[in-house]
């Protein structure tokens, strides 16, 4: 049987620097490498907790926000100290949904992508 390994997922962003700043502050993700072309730039962000990366694609001529539908998709991150993480994200003003019964919450990035925060297992 072939084995496949998760590598990255992509989000298209309108303001690359704003997104890089958000992901660094909110989730501790920093630039790992980039691809720069005349019409677009792709920056892969990640951290030392896993080798999974988030690919941020900036199409330089794009001016309109992306249509994310009903936001029925998300990317999840785990953290050891949920209370500290929730307090940080509330202070940043990016918490969009809390589910105390499940012990999780969601934040949104500058382009409207939902990010789930769950406790480490």
Q: What gap in Å lies between CA 54 and CA 57, rounded to an integer?
A: 10
Strand partners, 116: 76, 106
Q: Specify the DSSP element, H or E, that contains 25.
A: helix 16-27
Q: What gap in Å lies between CA 27 and CA 109, rounded to an integer?
A: 11
Say which residues have a Cβ less than 8 Å from residue 30's Cβ, sequence separation at least 6: 24, 45, 46, 47
Q: Which residues are catalytic?
A: 116
Neighbouring C-beta atoms of residue 8, cutoff 10 Å:
14
């Amino acid at each position: 049987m072939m084995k496949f390994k998760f590598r990255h997922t992509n989000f298209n962003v309108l303001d690359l620097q704003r997104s890089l700043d958000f992901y660094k502050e909110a989730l501790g993700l920093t630039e790992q490498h980039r691809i720069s072309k005349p019409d677009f730039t792709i920056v892969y962000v990640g951290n030392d907790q896993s080798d999974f990366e988030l690919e941020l694609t900036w199409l330089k001529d794009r001016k309109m926000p992306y249509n994310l539908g009903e936001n029925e998709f998300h990317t999840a991150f785990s953290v050891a100290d949920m209370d500290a993480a929730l307090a940080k994200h509330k202070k940043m003003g990016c918490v969009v949904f809390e589910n105390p019964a499940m012990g999780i919450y969601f934040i949104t990035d500058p382009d409207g992508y939902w990010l789930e925060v769950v406790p480490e297992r």
